[in-house]
Amino acid sequence: MDFHNKKVLIRVDFNVPLDDNFNITDDTRMRAAIPTIKKVLSEGGAVVLMSHLGRPQKKRKEDGSIDVERFTLKHLVTHLSELLGGVPVHFCPETVGEKAEKMVAELPYGEVLLLENTRFNSGESKGDEALAEAMSKLGDIYLNDAFGTAHRAHSSTAVVAKFFPKEKKGFGMLMDAEIKNANKVVQTPERPLTAITGGAKVSDKILLLEKLIDFVDHLIIGGGMAYTFFKAQGGKVGNSLVEEDKLDLALSLLQKAKDKGVQIHLPEDSLIADAFSNDANTRYCSNMEIPDGWMGLDIGKKAIKDFREVILSSKTILWNGPMGVFEMPAFAEGTKAIALTVAEATKNGAFSLIGGGDSVAAINQLGLADEVSYVSTGGGAMLKFLEGEELPGIAAIKE
């Protein structure tokens, strides 16, 4: 695309966490959008940015009005300018309308205008067309670089695209990278392909597990999810997390995997605890014989060894979900060992994608983000992508 002398409207995901004094506590999402912004600026364009921040419609003030002070994007202006090496960043206290249009018209090329929180407009989350049309007046070109919200059909993430002709809309570089890396797993994986799944509940990951069984060679199931599979097979899992209504589903997933020739790897043992607490008494135990009053909160030593072998023999690795309650140091060992093994496999030449949610937090916490091939910025969006769903934010650009 030719950005020279163009006003380029970019949907970014600047939904960053702020502390009580409105300092940004993690600017990962902002940094992820910088390459696209810099590219447009360096090629002679001006950048108009829109993003949401938090849930201002849900968390209104006592009198029912929007809590502008808490959710304004103005808090991000100074840091954004710093990240862009001092490029001027102007702020418009409105998302759309006359004032915004005037500021866009007056915006010098080489500079940035940040619009107010898209979710201050009640139509945004409903995909309101009039709002999307008003947004479309704020740029000659529309780029979507907000992978983290690509699974939502909101005015700024999807609907706005319909007001731009095909040659005047496209993906930003973050979006491009997310899609290309996910496709290295989904479409063109080098085999063996191993998916490592974990996290709390089977019910959150049913679609993912079903989809994975269609195309992976090995499926590792750790975390709280695993106990539903053990119970379904007649194991004693004590007080571990179990979804009683998903026992049949667990058995049918195991059968489906068998039919398809997919090898399922469940943890042979667990680190069990007598309370859901970092200070609980703990010991290792087979997952078929967990006593009442005890619960599995991390995978055990044998499981770590088994999973390690599978991961190191893989050419493509996808990881979604921790192996245990890694937020408590006493139960972080399994997740840590898997993270280190994924890094080791990557060093040996495997492609590794950390696909969303708490496994991303775990990789970042361990400082291993640079030692895996790609860490996705989009939790829910990546999950939906891997589940095979067409994301509205992607579809809208292609239409």
Round to whole Å and give the CA distance between 32 and 14. Answer: 9
Round to whole Å and give the CA distance between 273 and 241. Answer: 12
> Is 357 a known active-site residue?
yes
Round to whole Å and give the CA distance between 133 and 155. Answer: 9
Shortest approach of ligand AMP to residue 272 CB, angstroms?
9
> Is 139 a known active-site residue?
no
Quick one: which of 127, 223, 378, 393 contacts ligand AMP (CB under 6 A)? Answer: 223
Stretch that binds ligand AMP, among 164-172, 251-259, 324-332, 345-353 (CB under 6 A): 324-332
Say whether residue 322 binds ligand AMP (CB under 6 A): yes
> Is 380 a known active-site residue?
yes
Quick one: which of 45, 56, 139, 199 contacts ligand AMP (CB under 6 A)? Answer: 199
Say whether residue 148 binds ligand AMP (CB under 6 A): no
Which residues in the 275-304 window bind ligand AMP by CB under 6 A? 296-297
> Is 201 a known active-site residue?
yes
Say whether residue 358 binds ligand AMP (CB under 6 A): yes
Say whether residue 324 binds ligand AMP (CB under 6 A): yes
Say whether residue 321 binds ligand AMP (CB under 6 A): yes
CB contact set of 17 (below 8 Å; sequence gap of 6+): 24, 25, 26
The pair of three-digit structure tokens given for residue 341, joined into one six-digit string: 């093994």
Shortest approach of ligand AMP to residue 300 CB, angstroms?
11
Say whether residue 224 binds ligand AMP (CB under 6 A): yes
Q: Is 102 exposed, middle or buried (0-12, 13-18, 19+ CB in 10 A)?
A: exposed
Integer-rounded Cα Rg, in Å, for the chain is: 23
Name the nearest CA neighbour of 2 among 173, 180, 170, 177: 170
Choice among 139, 222, 224, 357 that is catalytic: 357
Q: Is 269 exposed, middle or buried (0-12, 13-18, 19+ CB in 10 A)?
A: buried
Shortest approach of ligand AMP to residue 280 CB, angstroms?
12
Backbone φ and ψ for 142, nearest 5 degrees, come out as -120, 125
Active-site residue list: 29, 201, 357, 380
Contact positions vs ligand AMP (CB under 6 A): 199-201, 204, 223-224, 241, 296-297, 321-322, 324-325, 327, 357-358
